[in-house]
Structure 1
Amino acid sequence: MKMEKENEQNCGMEKLFLTSKEAAKYLGISEGYLRVCRSTGKMGHVTPPPYVLIGRAGVRYDVRALRAWAAELPTYHSVNEYPEEVSI
């Protein structure tokens, strides 16, 4: 794994697809929460990020799709703006 990462850095290549663990870290959430959201199709008051299935490798998250998904998340200036189904 370490060698793989070094090879990517040496080639100037960024990973295009992330594992669930890597995607969760990238988003700042736990892998377990990401897995539950993927299974239920719910993530609080938003839809969870899209993912792909790649053969035996399994679930992968496209970095570009994660960035686009995150850019579309609602932003707030006050807790008074939260949707009613969101609890603090």
Structure 2
Amino acid sequence: MKIIFTHHAELKIRQRNIEKELVKTTLEDPDFVTESHANRKRAYKKFIKNYLEVIFVYEQGTIVVLTAHWVAKIKKTP
């Protein structure tokens, strides 16, 4: 599946020193995915001691990455 990054995602990934390849790996083979608000999804994958959380949406068969960041604990959705 095609993956594209918003301008915001590109900026935040660069600021947070996250490799794009790790984001792609998280999306292609997540440990788990949760629903978020406004049709967004959160993909998580553990790398060493922290999880990479990638927020994304599906648009016309394409994954659009909105942002990504490292988290130590997973937030449970209600």
- Answer yes or no: same fold by TM over 0.5: no
TM interval, shorter chain, is 0.3 to 0.5
The structure where helix makes up a greater share of residues is: 1
Q: TM-score, normalised by structure 1?
A: 0.37
Higher strand share: 2
Q: Say which structure, 1 or 2, has more relative contact order (CA 8 Å, 6+ apart).
A: 2
Q: TM-score, normalised by structure 2?
A: 0.40
